[in-house]
Amino acid sequence: MKYWLSPTIKWGVFKRIQYSFPRGGIEPMHIDKVLWQGLRDRYFNIYIDTKQIIITTKSPSKGDKIIK
């Protein structure tokens, strides 16, 4: 099942979701703000699927859950 992040998601909820995934390696500065703002501006969509965060231009389909 895919869990899509809503474009209206609040910053605090977005950060809690981000912190639930393991970190490692090199990470660009402020990438979290870039992803959140791109989602809010509807440049792309983000969903969670089997322990991965996927960035795509596809839209949610029927039966997918949306995290607000």
Give the pLDDT confidence score for residue 8 in this predicted structure: 95
Q: Where are the beta strands (DSSP E) in 1-68?
A: 3-5, 45-49, 52-56, 65-67
Low pLDDT (below 50) residues in the chain: none
In terms of DSSP H, where are the helices of 21-60? Answer: 31-40
Note down the domain range covering 24. 3-67
Tally of domains within the chain:
1
